[in-house]
Structure 1
Amino acid sequence: MSFTDFFTKTVLFKSFLPKAQASFVLGAIERSEHEYFEEKMRELDEVIQSMPDVYAQDGLGDDAIIHLHYFTGGCDWYVTAKDVVNPDDGQLVVATEQHQAFGFVNFNDPQNAEFGYIPISALREHPLIELDFHWEPKTVAEIKKSINSPSLST
């Protein structure tokens, strides 16, 4: 199976990666950057596969771990958990297609940044929103501290 075939079947590609970014990655896989992008896409898919469901970090508040980061301009969406569904049998299972996730959102206004559901399907459609390929997991407390720090500009 080619990497392109593998990649287009991943949860990352189908449910989390913004469509414009996915198109870029598919093109990059065909060029000299393919090794970097193949490794990065496998890494991100593993992060998503191992990310907790929406209730697993319930009650942790600022100690919740942020697994994914989306951004554009001064807006940031920090994903702490995947969505779950409640099928007829009453058991919660991870949704096969992510329409939303849970996390912490900052629209360039630290005083009004808050926890809530994040519309992953809408983020994927927006041409300027990107999934941060260089994100390292952090707690919400670490993000709050960084967005509330005074600017270092002179």
Structure 2
Amino acid sequence: MSRISLFNDGIKVALPARYPQPSGTQVSLADGIAALQRIKAFMSPRQSNAVSELMHGEEGGFFIAKMIELDRRITDMPVTYEQNEVSDPIAYLHYFMGGSDWYITEKDMEGKGTEQAYGYACLNGDMMNAEFGFISIDELCSIVIRGFMTIDLDFHFDPTPMSVIKTRMGDRYGSHA
């Protein structure tokens, strides 16, 4: 395991041994950097800077492949109002910080896709007040608390129907919305 500092806080974190590439997959650093540039607006500056650095490191293959995967997902995800008639919309992106979660079901149809996305927000595990609505990804990604905490894009989230997400959240927080 290697230990590196991901941010300017000087705290070293351990990275596991090499991440195996899926067989038959060829990805290059240039492809990963290009994908990161296209989706940079969907991450906080701190997170995108860390990913940029990590793509050059020992675990670079994982981060390169993940940026390419997220680029494809974001490119192909529905834009606002496309899931209006869907009874169980799919969440394509998940943002988190502490006990707060934001699930994005549709990116904005204009601009970078981050100005007025649509999704579900649950702040501090409060299922009673969790709701669907418009979410500014730009605002989420610009929040910095106490000089170092940010809202991050979940790299391990797979597109999931909202009914499944709400059930999981209800199980975790003790009530269903």
TM-score by length of 2: 0.72
* Counterpart Cα distance in 2 of 1:54 and 1:145: 24
Which sections of structure 1, spanning at least 5 residues, go unmatched? 86-94
SS of the counterpart of 1:110? coil
CA deviation digits over 1:18-50, x for unaligned, max 9?
211101001101211111100000000100000
User: Paired residue for 1:53, among 45, 69, 79?
Assistant: 79
User: Paired residue for 1:64, among 85, 89, 93?
Assistant: 89
Amino acid of the structure 1 residue aligned with 2:118:
F
User: Paired residue for 1:116, among 121, 133, 137?
Assistant: 133
Q: Find the counterpart in structure 2 of residue 81 from structure 1.
A: 106
Q: Higher relative contact order at CA 8 Å, sep ≥6: structure 1 or structure 2?
A: 1
* Counterpart Cα distance in 2 of 1:42 and 1:18: 17
Superposed CA RMSD in Å reads 2.0
* Counterpart Cα distance in 2 of 1:151 and 1:84: 33
Percent identity, aligned pairs only, is 35
Aligned residues: 140
* Counterpart Cα distance in 1 of 2:172 and 2:102: 20
Q: Find the counterpart in structure 2 of residue 9 from structure 1.
A: 37
Amino acid of the structure 2 residue aligned with 1:129:
I
Amino acid of the structure 2 residue aligned with 1:2:
A
CA deviation digits over 1:99-134, x for unaligned, max 9?
221001101201111000111011111242110000
Kindly tell me: are residues 70 and 150 of structure 1, through their superposed partners in 2, closer, same or farther at Cα, counting changes over 3 Å?
closer
Q: Find the counterpart in structure 2 of residue 22 from structure 1.
A: 48
Kindly tell me: are residues 124 and 151 of structure 1, through their superposed partners in 2, closer, same or farther at Cα, counting changes over 3 Å?
closer
SS of the counterpart of 1:103? strand
* Counterpart Cα distance in 1 of 2:83 and 2:113: 20
1:141 corresponds to 2:163: yes
Shift of 1:5: 4.7
1:131 corresponds to 2:159: no
